[in-house]
A and B are shown apart, each in its own frame.
Chain A
């Protein structure tokens, strides 16, 4: 390829970049709007035409956690510290449990297929496709009967089951992708099954397990219906509280709402960037691979 050709490709490429940049920014605009508004004062947030250049303030982010409920009073904690902790704690614990149980099952499905393997897999996928709104009706009643409503144990157990189908399908797809020859060679050399799993299969899917973990944490972090119905003020997660505040006095304070949403979505957006290569597999539960 001559020098001239390279330059021609380069210019055409940058032309596409420009077009794609404009379209991408328009597409991303709603998110950008929220993030910008989070840094605006009350006047700036409501200004029209909207301001893209303004003096940023962090006061909205402080108000998310501490603010005065009455004019001139002392700043009080709003409880969002606890709700963010709950989101992380409940999400992390339930996903870890789901991943341990799910990896075992995925390895079983992948390496030791049972009779009726597809039936089990179908059952597992169906529980995932099931609208949460249907599951919540009996679970709401049963949780109240067994006193699990509003407890950490209850919501963590529920989220573990909620994340399990996803973990099984994802991790199974990673195990399915492995080259079997290495394992078979190890078996021939006399490795036991546990050793084959621990020393050969598992290390090869560490990256996949990490991706599955992060993905499932996002799904749990975002989950709304179960959180709304089954958490108490002590165990409430962020999305369940955000929706409660929107109708109240906080709902009209745009900067505050945006700051809250920004804190809620920024981890997700950043993680999405990191997960780009696993995104297809993740959003289709491992049923489609690149």
Chain B
């Protein structure tokens, strides 16, 4: 670098004559200022291509074959669009998508409601707020598999504290003392998963809503107070516009993540009773590693991936919209 570096930004750089450049050789060519950005991101891109993208492309190829990963040496057999056609016409697959959709809708809805209420609770400053906030935020950072194990213990029919508590409340209300089993019917098992997942992720929504709430300028509330605006009006015209974009991001983000839900049903219910809580991811795991229909699993993976990419694009679009709407004074 010469001492007369341009000071605006670094993408306009000092002119180097071809002669000078050839004198520096390959290394000089490689280190040239205009190649700096590419040079810096190359290791990351290469790692991702080797470990992520290549296997994905490989499984894209596999999705057109019949293949069993148990017998690695046995060559795959061409199946054309067979795997996809089978999947689209298989009621089992649609059943798994329905199970997932029910869990997504139930859990994300609960997360938004609970997260929002928690955020209202923590919106104002009060003594010990920081420490109490930590208790509420902790579930979000736990391992998904640990949460599965937790609730498996809590729902356990004889000793779990949740069925025993429900039994006690039921006895207190009706005078009938009978054991409660949580995971025995499809509806209850689905609710059990929704409850566990919502418990874990409501703090996430709270965190986003809190970020929106603290960004509301105080003077707006003061002005509203002078105008004697009702609480509802204050909320709908001042608070809500500030948290709207963040709520949308929370909704999209949690929808993507819950759509992928695997660990909790896998550990907690193992998809049961029957297949009523078997989500797409758990089913995918079964097809791939219990039945070893690797080609078919790859095809289903691609269908799921398509959904995730669509949702991710929406999420990024929402982020950009929020960023460019900086006129809306949320940051």
Contacts and interface: CB of A to CB of B under 8 A. Distances in A.
A and B are partners in one complex rather than unrelated chains = yes
Contacts of B294: 137, 141
Contact of A14 (B126, B130, B316): B126
Contact of A124 (B5, B7, B48, B199): B48
A76 interface: no
A40 B79 CA distance: 57
For B128, B135, B267, the residue with the greatest tally of chain A CB atoms inside 10 Å of its CB is: B135
Given A137-B294, A184-B8, A276 B36 contact: no
A136 to B, nearest CB: 8
Nearest to A141: B69
B200 to A, nearest CB: 9
B207 A138 contact: no
A142 to B, nearest CB: 6
A107 B1 CA distance: 18
Contact of B301 (A28, A114, A134): A134
Contacts of B1: 192-193
Interface string A100-137: 01101101110111100000101111110111111111
Given A129-B308, A137-B59, A254-B153, A20 B129 contact: yes
Nearest to A197: B40
B223 interface: no
A104 B40 contact: yes
A128 to B, nearest CB: 9
A218 interface: yes
Contacts of B144: 222, 224
Interface residues of B, number: 99
B53 interface: yes
Nearest to A273: B134
B48 A104 contact: no
For A19, A114, A254, the residue with the greatest tally of chain B CB atoms inside 10 Å of its CB is: A114
Nearest to B199: A30
B154 A112 contact: no
A154 B36 CA distance: 30
B267 A133 contact: no
Contacts of B138: 28, 31, 268-269, 272
A222 B148 CA distance: 12
Contacts of B50: 161
From DSSP, what is the main secondary structure of chain B's interface residues?
helix
A131 to B, nearest CB: 4
B14 to A, nearest CB: 11
Contacts of B85: none
A157 B52 CA distance: 11
Contact of A20 (B53, B126, B256): B126
A200 B301 CA distance: 45
A129 B263 CA distance: 16
B137 interface: yes
A246 B311 CA distance: 35
From DSSP, what is the main secondary structure of chain A's interface residues?
helix
A261 B256 CA distance: 27
A257 B44 contact: no
For A134, A144, A191, A284, the residue with the greatest tally of chain B CB atoms inside 10 Å of its CB is: A134
B72 A144 contact: yes
A141 B40 CA distance: 31
B41 A13 contact: no
B284 to A, nearest CB: 5
A192 B59 CA distance: 45
A272 B134 contact: yes
Nearest to A276: B134
A174 interface: no
Nearest to A290: B211
A158 interface: yes
Contact of A133 (B43, B118, B153, B284): B284
B262 A133 contact: yes
A82 to B, nearest CB: 19
Contacts of B285: 133, 225
A188 B5 contact: yes
A46 interface: yes
Contacts of A218: 141
B130 to A, nearest CB: 7
Contacts of A90: none
Q: Which 3 A-B pairs have the closest CB atoms?
A: A108-B40, A112-B37, A222-B143
12 contacts: A20-B126, A31-B150, A50-B161, A133-B284, A134-B302, A134-B305, A141-B72, A187-B6, A243-B145, A269-B138, A279-B137, A288-B319
Interface of A: 13-14, 16-17, 19-21, 23-25, 27-28, 30-31, 33-34, 46, 48, 50, 101-102, 104-105, 107-109, 111-114, 120, 122-127, 129-142, 144-145, 157-158, 160-161, 164-165, 168, 180, 184-185, 187-188, 190-193, 218, 221-225, 229, 239, 242-243, 246, 254, 257-258, 261, 264-265, 268-269, 271-273, 276, 279-280, 283-284, 287-288, 290
Given A31-B150, A104-B43, A284-B253, 12 more contacts: A23-B136, A28-B136, A111-B37, A112-B40, A122-B313, A129-B309, A133-B284, A187-B10, A193-B10, A265-B143, A269-B138, A271-B141
